[in-house]
Each structure stands twice: as structure tokens, then as C-alpha cells.
């Protein structure tokens, strides 16, 4: 800018007609008052000092304004950071509290092991389901299913399950790499570690059998699935081929006695009317003896039995007096 133009700008400033941009320009040339005295030739000493003071004050006013803006920005930024931090902290606290309140508490693991040669053992599971664990078998399950997504148990050996229905929480039995999933049904699983096959025999309802890779089969009442662990061969048999097994589906002791007397050619005497009305569901292999069958039935209904050799009769009686 030429000096004439700059002097004209000073005249405008003196009249109060300068724009904000022009005032800023004058501020940037504040030190010209010392280096270019002819610029101020048209102003008297009082006007010179007033102009210098106004420009000086204006510069500091703008410096202070920008400083306040920065401080406000910092303050707002700091406040936003503090608010954000508080919100994050609150969310973390709520998450932690929610996790603490809703997470499943540590539960004990229950292990039922029936040694070879021992009586089959009836186990009441935490959800009201029942398992009949056969000799030489091991069943592991949590002391409660509360807070868990599924009702999961682990089986080594053979067990009969009568599962209480719960459509919102599936019941899963793990046997090595095979997983059997049900909602509510009755079935037998045989999966001894030393045996080459795993078999599932469905007595009531439906079950889904799978391994880590795929679904092996969906079984309905009377179906039987045999899986070869080494060859991964799957055989699913219809009801007609498993009729040789002894099936008792939701029968009373009185009804089962009629069947057993015919099956084993024996007389059975039950002591107690209430005992005769006890109902149960179970299945037995055709090769199992009468004693094995009675042991399992008595475990279900909390009873016992003995042979009366003189009368050639089996006496069944309640354990409770």
C-alpha cells in the first residue's frame, strides 16, 4: 500500500469510518509510527497519541479476546472431556454393576461316578430332570442351571435321561465329540470311552445329535442312532429294529409288574398301594437281568426288593416307613 493511501486510511480511522478489516490493517502497521513519521504529518500530537493508544488498546483487546476464546474453547473442550470421561465412567460402572448382578455366580460341579459292579444310580438334576446312571459311568453337571444359557452335562458311559421340558433353555449332553440336544424328552445314551460306538435311543420326544462339524441326525420316538467314533459312520435305525429293548414309558409300578412277570416268568409282590401308583419312564437292554431291571426301577421310585426263595417271589417294598 502507498503512503498516500495509508494516510487516507488514517483519516478514515480518525472519522470513525474504518471497517474491521481496515482497523486490523492499521494494527499490523502500528510500528510505522516510529519508522515513518511523515505518515502522521496530518495529525497533531494529541491525535497521534490518541490514535496510537486506541490502536494499542485495540490490539490488546483483540489479543485478550482471542485469549478468552481459546480459554473458553479450552474450557469447553475440557468440560466436554470431563463430561465424556464422566459418561464413560458411568457407563463402565453401570456395565460392571450389571455384569456383577447378572453374571452367573460360581457354581459347584457335581460328579456322579458309578463303579463297575455297583447298582445303577438315579440322579435328580437341578432343573427337575432325572438321570439313571449305569454302572461304569460318570455324569458331571453344575449344581444349578440358573444364570446359564443351556443345561449342559457331561457323560462318560451310559445313562438314561428323562428331561424336564424348558423351551427357553436347551438340555445338552456332551459325550466325547458328540453333542445331544433336547428340549424335553426321554432317551438313553451309551458312550463308554473304551467302546468304538456311541448310541442314542429315543424313548419319547425328539433329540438332535451333532458333532463339531455338522448335525448327524434328528431322532424321534423309537429311533436309534449309532455313531462309530473311529470311522465316523452313522447308522440310524427305525423303531422296528429297537423293539428288542425293554421300554417302559410313563408306566406305574403296577403296570410294570404285569410286564415283568410275563417277561421273566416270575411272581412279584409289592407291599404298599402308594408304591404301586408310582410312575416312571426307562428302557433296558434285552440282555439285562431281572435284578438289574428291578434295581433301576427301585432307584426311580425310592424302593427296594428281595427274593423270597420259599415263595419263589420277588418282594418290592418302600424304603421309607
For 278-306, the pLDDT digits (tens) are 888 777 777 788 888 888 888 888 899 99
Which pLDDT score is estimated for 142? 93
Task: State whether 237 and 250 are in the same domain.
Answer: no
- Structural domain count, the chain: 3
Task: State whether 165 and 207 are in the same domain.
Answer: yes
Q: What is the CATH number of the domain that holds 161?
A: 2.60.120.1440
- Reported as a pLDDT band with limits 50, 70 and 90, residue 201 is confident
For 65-117, the pLDDT digits (tens) are 555 555 555 555 555 555 555 555 555 555 554 544 444 556 789 999 999 88
Please answer whether residues 267 and 290 qualify as being in contact, where contact means their C-beta atoms are separated by less than 8 angstroms.
Answer: no
For 176-185, the pLDDT digits (tens) are 889 999 877 8
Task: State whether 188 and 274 are in the same domain.
Answer: no
Which pLDDT score is estimated for 242? 44
Task: State whether 192 and 293 are in the same domain.
Answer: no
Task: State whether 231 and 202 are in the same domain.
Answer: yes
Which pLDDT score is estimated for 4? 60
Q: Which domain holds residue 150?
A: 109-242
Task: State whether 82 and 8 are in the same domain.
Answer: yes
Task: State whether 291 and 171 are in the same domain.
Answer: no
Which residues does residue 2 pair with via DSSP β-bridges, in sequence order? none
pLDDT over 90 (residue 37): no
Task: State whether 206 and 292 are in the same domain.
Answer: no
Task: State whether 252 and 276 are in the same domain.
Answer: yes
81, 100, 119: which is the final residue of a domain? 100
Q: How far is CA 180 from the centre of its chain?
A: 18
Please answer whether residues 31 and 39 qualify as being in contact, where contact means their C-beta atoms are separated by less than 8 angstroms.
Answer: no
Query: What is the sign, positive or negative, of the torsion defined by CA atoms of 270, 274, 279, 280?
Result: negative
Q: What is the CATH number of the domain that holds 289?
A: 3.55.50.30
Name the pTM for this structure. Answer: 0.50
Task: State whether 8 and 46 are in the same domain.
Answer: yes
For 127-174, the pLDDT digits (tens) are 988 888 888 999 999 999 988 889 999 999 999 888 888 888 999 999
216, 242, 268: which is the final residue of a domain? 242
Task: State whether 251 and 301 are in the same domain.
Answer: yes
Span 31-43, average pLDDT? 50
Which pLDDT score is estimated for 78? 59
Amino acid at each position: 500500500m502507498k503512503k498516500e493511501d495509508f494516510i487516507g486510511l488514517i483519516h478514515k480511522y480518525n472519522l470513525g469510518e474504518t471497517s474491521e478489516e481496515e482497523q486490523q490493517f492499521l494494527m499490523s502497521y502500528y510500528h510505522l509510527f516510529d519508522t515513518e513519521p511523515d505518515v502522521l504529518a496530518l495529525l497533531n500530537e494529541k491525535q497521534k497519541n490518541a490514535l496510537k493508544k486506541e490502536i494499542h488498546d485495540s490490539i490488546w483487546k483483540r489479543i485478550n479476546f482471542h485469549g478468552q476464546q481459546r480459554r473458553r474453547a479450552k474450557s469447553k473442550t475440557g468440560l466436554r472431556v470431563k463430561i465424556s470421561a464422566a459418561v464413560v465412567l458411568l457407563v463402565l460402572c453401570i456395565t460392571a454393576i450389571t455384569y456383577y448382578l447378572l453374571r452367573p455366580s460360581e457354581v459347584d460341579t457335581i460328579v456322579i461316578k458309578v463303579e463297575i459292579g455297583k447298582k445303577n444310580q438315579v440322579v435328580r438334576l437341578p432343573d427337575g430332570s432325572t438321570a439313571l446312571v449305569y454302572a461304569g459311568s460318570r455324569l458331571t453337571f453344575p449344581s444349578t442351571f440358573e444364570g446359564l444359557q443351556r443345561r449342559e452335562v457331561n457323560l462318560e458311559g451310559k445313562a438314561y435321561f428323562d428331561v424336564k421340558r424348558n423351551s427357553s433353555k436347551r438340555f445338552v449332553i456332551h459325550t466325547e465329540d458328540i453333542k445331544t440336544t433336547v428340549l424335553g424328552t426321554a432317551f438313553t445314551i451309551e458312550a463308554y470311552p473304551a467302546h468304538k460306538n456311541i448310541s442314542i435311543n429315543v424313548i419319547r420326544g425328539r433329540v438332535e445329535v451333532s458333532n463339531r462339524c455338522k448335525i448327524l441326525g434328528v431322532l424321534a420316538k423309537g429311533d436309534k442312532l449309532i455313531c462309530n467314533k473311529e470311522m465316523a459312520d452313522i447308522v440310524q435305525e427305525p423303531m422296528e429294529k429297537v423293539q428288542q429293548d425293554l421300554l417302559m414309558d410313563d408306566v406305574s409300578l403296577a403296570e410294570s409288574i404285569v410286564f415283568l412277570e410275563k417277561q421273566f416268568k416270575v411272581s412279584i409282590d409289592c407291599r404298599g398301594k402308594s408304591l404301586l401308583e408310582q410312575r416312571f419312564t426307562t428302557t433296558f437292554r434285552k440282555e439285562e437281568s431281572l435284578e438289574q431291571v428291578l434295581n433301576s426301577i427301585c432307584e426311580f421310585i425310592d424302593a427296594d426288593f428281595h427274593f423270597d426263595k420259599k415263595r419263589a417271589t420277588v418282594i418290592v417294598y418302600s424304603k421309607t416307613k
